[in-house]
Amino acid sequence: MKLVIIILFCINLIVISSHSQDINSSRVENEIINEVSHKSKYINENKVLSETMLLDIIRLDSMVVFGHLENLDSVSRIKYTYTYNQEENTLLIIFKYRLINNGIWLNYSKSVRTFNDQYQEIQIISYQGDGQSWIKREKSIYEYYNNNISLRINYGWDSYLYEWYLSTKYENEYDSFGNLEETISSLFNREESKWYFAWKMEYNYDQNDRVVSDIWYFWNKELARWEFSDWSNYTYHEEIQSSTDYIFESGDWKPIRKTLGEKIDDFTIKYNSFEYMEDSIWLHVDSLQKEYDDMKNLVRQESFEYKLSDSTWIGDRNDYEYNDMNQEIVRKYYKWDSELREWWLSTRFISGYNEFGALDYECVYLWDTIDSYWFKSSSTVYYFSSISEINEEKKAIDFHIYPNPCGQFLTINCKDLKSDYITYEIYSSNGRLVDSDILKHDSKINVVGLTKGFYHIRIIDSGISYAAGFIKL
């Protein structure tokens, strides 16, 4: 079967704030054309990729996503791998990273998701990576009733007893229309081997299946009863929702916040939020206005938040443009200048799509307020190509290291080697090469000179590398 790979290349530059200036569209378009014209794309016509849609991922045997990890100076690349096992109906998602000064892919996180015949998740097991090995972290089990989640049980992993233990559970009840009526959360006491209630949410609906209230309770363990905590009430006018939030104090409900929705016209909705101060005074704290086109696409979102410290309003705005397929191609981000009382354009986001509707590229441009020009802050280009060769399963050698943790010596035991000698490399936890040499299999490495801590060892046999982690005592 032909497999598919997506590679994301991101170039991040310094971000500089900007004042309103319209972008030179022709120059920007030329830059994009020059940037993506060298791409070589091989796309399986029957598989339009989407990370957000489970069924699209399941149609692939394997998918790899490459990119850069921001804000981590020692990390050069990241990689997500999605592998679907049709026989077991499971999806394996692995996240790895690679350090700048070596080519080893290090484990960061992993999850195994199991589905039923309706592609509903029935189990998720997550792992935390410590470089080369995986450590179990959490497990969740799901049960369904009429296609709704009726029960979720969470487990934690006991690394000392080497077993799963019960942690929390959520029980859901629904009405005959499938609306969630109640959620009860419980905590498991391991010492008593007993479940205890934690909190409960109740939902009420009108005849149009719109939620009209939700009430949050907490469990009073000493009195063995549910007690009020928070309550939200919802009303509707022309399908626009307004809400009022209350908190239960001293035996009474007290208002804390309300949001009033208003339909300005057929394409514009506005929300104003207020916080309750005292003496029945409501302070206007923020507003949100959304404008849509005749295709129900959001074309403008404008928000303001009141800054009580200096009695000023902080605002931002996003304007959106779409192609004929109603996919977002341009987003302009504005900030509000409270002194000049005007909007200024600071950032422009540009997206392009291929003939199959998959995202092709993304570019971010910022306005330089000093030299008054637009510069590219970052760009992401998506490459589609076959990975049948690089993702092909390779026969692994029987590779063990012991003892682990180790003191003076670390023994390497390898079987099924293709060569008489192997190369080993030892890296510290921050990716620095601390030792390397050539040796025969079943050899001891003197590690007495290493400081205490976690290390990665890489074994290279005929150009194929294998890796593991160990602890130096």
Question: What are the boundaries of each domain within the chain?
Answer: 398-472
Which helix (DSSP H) or strand (DSSP E) does residue 35 occupy? helix 25-36
The residue type at 458? R
In whole angstroms, what is the distance from residue 369 CA to residue 364 CA? 16
Using DSSP, state whether 150 is helix, strand or coil: strand
Single out the residue of 35, 103, 95, 90 nearest to residue 69, CA to CA.
95
Q: How deeply is 240 buried, as exposed, middle or buried, from its count of CB atoms within 10 A (0-12, 13-18, 19+)? A: middle
Q: How deeply is 317 buried, as exposed, middle or buried, from its count of CB atoms within 10 A (0-12, 13-18, 19+)? A: middle
Residue 37 confidence (pLDDT): 35
Per-residue pLDDT of the chain (473 residues; tens, 9 = 90+): 333 333 333 323 222 223 334 444 444 444 433 433 333 222 222 222 222 223 333 333 334 444 443 334 454 566 767 677 777 888 888 888 777 666 677 888 999 989 887 767 899 999 998 877 899 999 999 998 887 889 999 999 999 999 999 999 999 999 988 899 999 999 999 999 999 999 999 999 999 889 999 999 999 999 999 999 999 999 999 889 999 999 999 999 999 999 999 999 999 999 999 999 988 899 999 999 999 999 889 999 999 999 888 888 999 999 999 988 788 899 999 999 988 999 999 999 998 877 656 667 788 899 888 888 888 876 665 544 333 222 333 345 566 777 766 777 788 877 666 667 778 888 765 456 788 888 765 678 888 778 776 677 877 776 666 766 676 76
Using DSSP, state whether 203 is helix, strand or coil: strand
In whole angstroms, what is the distance from residue 332 CA to residue 350 CA? 9
Token pair 């005749």 in the structure block, residue? 294
In whole angstroms, what is the distance from residue 404 CA to residue 446 CA? 14
DSSP secondary structure, 401-470, as one string: EESSSBSSEEEEEEES-SSSEEEEEEEETTS-EEEEEEEESSEEEE-TTSPSEEEEEEEEETTEEEEEEE
What global pTM score does this model have? Answer: 0.63
Q: What CATH number has the domain spanning 398-472?
A: 2.60.40.3080
